[in-house]
Each structure stands twice: as structure tokens, then as C-alpha cells.
A and B are shown apart, each in its own frame.
Chain A
Amino acid sequence: MPDTDTDESLLGRARAGDEQAFLSIYMRHRAGVYRFACRLLGDEAAAEDVTHDCFLSLFKHPERFDASRGAALRTYLFAAARNLSLKRFRRAAQETLIDETLEERSAPACDEPLSRLLEAELSATVRAAVHALPALQREVLILFEFENLSLQEIALVVGAEVNTVKSRLGRARDGLRRALAPHLAARRTELVGASEK
């Protein structure tokens, strides 16, 4: 299957029953959607459900994605993931709490145990700070900083104006700066020390 096929053509074939076309679409977008859901929800199991439902919605409700509206499939998938995540929030009647027991199992940058511990600690701190943000700011921040979506795309995903997205992003950064102020200060101290040497 050539990878140059557009999402739209692949989707058309997948809807007609072409499994390879479906797999191409899925492999192309699964990582971003899963990562986004995972960061947004803070729960890998829930993120799996959201990713699953997200891709299946392309076939269960084909009318919901209309390529003629100018939206890219990627944007649609992120929007669907976002809506499904918000549904989960509503059902839980509260923001998803940070699961402190959730283990970060990413591969460490180096093999030193202390370095690994520090990285894990920093990761947990950043995660806690992001999850402490309001849901609307959190999703914008994740899409912008981690998934590298443009402001226009984010506006389509969250169903808001570009300016709204910008202001949410600004507020999210302000909130993060306040939450991570000690780490920022420590890091700058280290950098100043290194520069003096």
C-alpha cells in the first residue's frame, strides 16, 4: 500500500471493506490520537477505549466526517477523541483525578538509576501540573505543545475561535509557570552555575 495515498481516498476504500486501507489510516494516526487521549485522561485504559471508539466512529457514523467540509481526517480524529474524553469526564461527574499509582514506563534517557528517578519525578510533576489545569486549557496545551497541531487545527478540534484557542493557551502556560516555578528556578540556577564554570 503506497503511503502517498490521501486520508480521504484511504477512508473511502476502508469504508468499502478494504482492510489494508483501514490499517494504513489507523497506523498513520493511532499514535497521535492515543497519546493525546492518554495525556488528556491520564489513564491508559481509558485512552485505549477512546482511541478504539474514535477510529470505529469513522465507520459506525460515516456522516460525521465530511471531507468536503475542509477538515482533515487528523483534525476529525482529534476532535472525536476530545469529545469522547469529555463524555467520560461528564459521566464521572468530575475531572479525572491524577492516578498517582500510574507507572511511567517510558524508557529512560540513560541507564543511571538516579537520573532515571529524577526524570520520572519530573515527568510526574509536569503531568500533575498539566492535569491541574482546567480541561479546556489542558486540551489546547496538549494539542499545541505535544501533538504540534496548528492553532487553526486546534480551533477546529475544540470547536472554538482561533483567538479563543490562543487565550486558552496563554492561560495554560501562565498556570504551568506558576505550578512549575520552583523547577524553573532550579533549572535556571543550574544553567547559571554551568555558565559560570
Chain B
Amino acid sequence: MSEKTNQDELDARRPSVEPEGREASACESSALTHESSAALFVFASVPALEEDLKVLLDGWQSPRVVPASLDARVLNSYRELLKEKEMNLHRPGHTLTPHYALPGDYHLTILEERGLFARLLAEIRETADDAQLTRAELRRDPFGFMRRLASAYASMAWRTLSQENTAYGVVTAFAVVLTLVGAVAAFSKFGTTRDGLLADRINENLIYLGPVTNIPKVQPEPEAGTAGMARGTGGGSKTEQERPGGGGGGGRLEDKPAVHGKLPQATLDPQVLAPDPKPPAIQNPSLPTAATIRADPALFPTDTRAINYGDPKSKATELSSGSGTGGGIGEGTGGGVGPGNGTGYGPGEGYNTGGGPPKLGGGGAGGNGGGGDLARPFRVNEVTRRAQIISKPEPLYTEEARKNQVTGTVRLRLVLSASGQVTGITPITKLPDGLTEKAIEAARRISFTPAEKDGRKVSQYVTIEYNFNIY
């Protein structure tokens, strides 16, 4: 023990005079507030407070002597330990037997509620405690500290691994993980090799020119729109995206506007015969020739309806080729149909359709014009042929409405379905006293011919009005 520590020892054991004196004075003053100065003289002979404290502490009766049962227990455990270590005992024949675990024994297991990490931390902390791994020890003997640390944790790891089945479990876990990693690596290597072989086979006749760097993030989408119509936003038969152009027109200098009708077959071959709403009746023609327009057939599906040729956008019903010139139908010139100039259809010139100078379009379905979902209801301007209402029964007037003199209009939006039924009736403008219901009832009894689109029957929206007037 060093000299300084000895001094500390003395300081610690010696009753401290000054602070204890102060505290003693405080205690004294509380106990002897009204004492005379003679009593203060007596105080000088009273021992210091530190001694008082010591006396009080001595009053803590020490625990009874070490129980004999403990002595016996320690001795037995010592003998058992020696036997376990297969040492020679000085006193053979003791009655205690070690608790060796026999194979097949039934073992009760206590499952701890603490989690894995909590238990691991507790184990590490206990190992540190047991090996005296404290900061003071580290300062005092760093090498010894490190040696004990390594030894303690190595023995902890060995204890853990040497438990029954633990090593098997760890080895199995490692084996499983390594197998999985190996399988993934092998599969990946095999896949790369196979892809490489395939790539080599494909590329054996190719020449590498350089990397492709200019890849647009968003591919251009075809614009929506009816193919080949005046908006010129449709598609065509070319493989790349391009707007079609061109148009056509015609007419036979008639006063009346061009009649509504179907377009003749579209073909990119030069036109032989211009369409005519009123084709001349030729008896026994020697060379039957069909009227055509020169346009991309991808934009104009064949119209099989048995109706006259005409301008599909026209509303005129009287057979007329229109005021244009050069044959054909419409207000333009040339043998086509429409207001343009040429043998195509619509505004524009030359042939084909879409407006402007003639050129072929391409790139996909040509907007909505080339097809689409024919099951949905179409608007009036989307169908090739509108639904034709055959009969429209009038609604009955209700007694209440008559009494209240209700007049006005009920407007309904409904679908004339492809199957010939009236569905989806939605009132837009209503009237009270049951008149709206009467109108809906009447609307259900409408009979009609369904609309057509590209030769197929489709459903079509219509808006109808019922006027209720009292005369």
C-alpha cells in the first residue's frame, strides 16, 4: 500500500473534526437551545459525531454465524466438482452424485421472456463482471486486462458452441447460407454464359457501330382522332408515325349540295371511275368497273352498306353530286369526295386524305378512327350511320299535372343500344307531378334501327324531348 493510500486510510478512519464539528454544533443547537454556557463546557467532553455514527453502525447486529448447512453445502459441492474433474478425492464414498445428463433423459426447459439481444448483452456483461473487466483494471494493467478479456470471451464463445447441438446448428446454418449463395452465383454465371452464347450467335454477322445514347425517355404517342378526317390527325399504313395528307373533291356542277352516302372503296391505285350518287344504269356492262377514291385503304374500311355513294359528312338527302367539278362528289375539283382537289377524300389536294399535299400516313391504329371498343355507346358524330327512330310514342298526361296546369319540356338522354332496346335513360330536365316518369315510360317504348359504325351495329346516345302543353 502506498504512502498516499496510507494517508488516505488514516483520513478516512479518523473522525473528521471540522465538518463534523459543524454538524455537531447544528445538532447540539437543536438539542440544547436553552442550555447554559456551562453546558457548552460539557460539550467539549462529548465525543465527535463521527464516533457517534460509528457507534450507531456498530449497533447493526452482525448476521448470525455462518450456518452449518452452508458449510456442508460448500464442501459437498467442492467434492462434486472434484469428481466431475476426475480428480482423486481424499475422502471417497461420499453420497452426493453429480447430475450428469443421460441420453434420453427428460429435461425441463425454462424459456426466458427476454429477447435474444437482451440475453446476449446480459451474458457479455456477466462475463465482463466475472473477469473483472473494469476501467480501473484497464488503467492499472492494460495488457492483463486485454488478456483476460480475450480469454473470458473466448471461453464464453466456447461454452456457447460446446452446448449440445449448438455447433451442429451453427454449422448447418452456415452450410445452408453458403449453399444458397453458391446456387445464386452458379445460376447467375450459367445465365450469363448462356445469354452470352445466344448473343454471340445473334451478333456474329453484325458490326458494332457504337453505343446508342439518344434514347428518348417517353416514346411519342399517336394523337387521338378520326383517321383521315379533316383534322388530319389520323394514321395510315406506313410503319412509322406520320400524319397523312392530301384530299380530294369533285362534283358535277349540280345546284344541290352533295348527298349523304358512303365512300367508295379506297385504294392507292390510280382512280379509274369516280364515285357517283346516281350511277348510270348500264345494261350488261362489258367491263364492270367499281368506283374508287385514291386513298390509303387502311384509313377507309370497306363500307358494305347497300346505299348510294356520297359524302359521309353531308346531311343532304337528295341525290346530288354537289357543286364541284371533275366528277366525284362534293364542292371541290377532281374525282374524289369532299371540298378538296384531287381523287382522295376531304380537304387537301392530290389524293389520300388529311389535308394539304398528298402523303401517306402511318404509325399505329390511326387514332380512334381505325377501330376501338364497339361495345360502348357512341356519340352521334362518332357513328357511321345514326340510329333511325321508327316510332316515338307520346307520353300520357297525369291528372295531377292537369290539375296543377303543369307545362314544359322533359329532356332525356338515353342509349339506343345495338340490341334494339332503350337503356340508360337519364333525365336532364324534369317536370313535377309524374310527368318525368311518364316521359321515361314513353321513351322505353321507342322503336328504332340501331346505329352502325364500320358496318357493325353499335349503341348510340341520343337526347330527346317531350313537350307537355295544355290546350
User: Footprint of B on A, CB under 8 Å?
Assistant: 14, 16-20, 22-23, 26, 30-31, 34-35, 38-39, 44, 47-48, 51-52, 55-57, 59-61, 63-64, 66, 69, 79, 83, 86-87, 90, 104-106, 119-120, 122-123, 126-127, 130, 144-146, 150-152, 155, 159-162, 166, 169, 173, 176-177, 180-181, 183-185, 187-189, 191-192, 195-196
> B residues 42-87 with Cβ under 8 Å of A?
42-43, 45-47, 49-50, 52-57, 59-67, 69-71, 73-75, 77-79, 81-82, 87
Which residues of B sit under 8 angstroms from A162, Cβ to Cβ? Answer: 5, 8
Instruction: Tell me if A188 and B88 are in contact (CB < 8 A).
Output: no
A-B contact pairs, 7 of them (CB 8 A): A20-B90, A34-B63, A52-B77, A87-B126, A150-B1, A160-B134, A196-B39
Rank and list the top 7 A-B pairs by shortest CB-CB distance, nearest first: A159-B134, A106-B61, A38-B63, A126-B60, A122-B59, A17-B87, A123-B61
Give B89's nearest chain A residue, CB to CB: A17
Interface residue B9 (Cβ < 8 Å from any Cβ of A): yes
Task: Report which of A39, A64, A176, A188 forms a contact with B27, defined as CB distance below 8 A.
Answer: A188
Which residues of B sit under 8 angstroms from A105, Cβ to Cβ? Answer: 64
Which residues of B sit under 8 angstroms from A26, Cβ to Cβ? Answer: 71, 74-75
Interface residue B240 (Cβ < 8 Å from any Cβ of A): no
Give B129's nearest chain A residue, CB to CB: A83
Give B13's nearest chain A residue, CB to CB: A144
Instruction: Tell me if B60 and A169 are in contact (CB < 8 A).
Output: no
Give A83's nearest chain B residue, CB to CB: B129
Q: How far is the CA of A119 from the CA of B101 in the complex (A)?
A: 51
Instruction: Tell me if B5 and A185 are in contact (CB < 8 A).
Output: no
Instruction: Tell me if B63 and A173 are in contact (CB < 8 A).
Output: no
Number of A-B contacts (CB under 8 A): 176
Q: How far is the CA of A161 from the CA of B135 in the complex (A)?
A: 9
Q: How far is the CA of A127 from the CA of B63 in the complex (A)?
A: 11
Which residues of A sit under 8 angstroms from B89, Cβ to Cβ? Answer: 17, 19
Which residues of A sit under 8 angstroms from B129, Cβ to Cβ? Answer: 83, 86-87
Instruction: Tell me if B9 and A151 are in contact (CB < 8 A).
Output: yes
Q: How far is the CA of A86 from the CA of B88 in the complex (A)?
A: 35
Interface residue B176 (Cβ < 8 Å from any Cβ of A): no
Interface residues on B, range: 35 or more
Q: What's the nearest-Cβ distance from chain A to residue B24, in Å?
A: 8
Instruction: Tell me if B77 and A56 are in contact (CB < 8 A).
Output: yes
Q: How far is the CA of A161 from the CA of B49 in the complex (A)?
A: 27
Instruction: Tell me if B55 and A187 are in contact (CB < 8 A).
Output: yes
Q: What's the nearest-Cβ distance from chain A to residue B126, in Å?
A: 6
Which residues of A sit under 8 angstroms from B50, Cβ to Cβ? Answer: 173
Interface residue B132 (Cβ < 8 Å from any Cβ of A): yes
Task: Report which of A59, A83, A169 forms a contact with B78, defined as CB distance below 8 A.
Answer: A59
Q: How far is the CA of A64 from the CA of B126 in the complex (A)?
A: 13
Instruction: Tell me if A160 and B42 are in contact (CB < 8 A).
Output: no
Which residues of A sit under 8 angstroms from B74, Cβ to Cβ? Answer: 26, 30, 51-52, 55-56
Q: What's the nearest-Cβ distance from chain B to residue A63, in Å?
A: 6
Instruction: Tell me if B46 and A152 are in contact (CB < 8 A).
Output: no
Which residues of A sit under 8 angstroms from B42, Cβ to Cβ? Answer: 192, 195-196
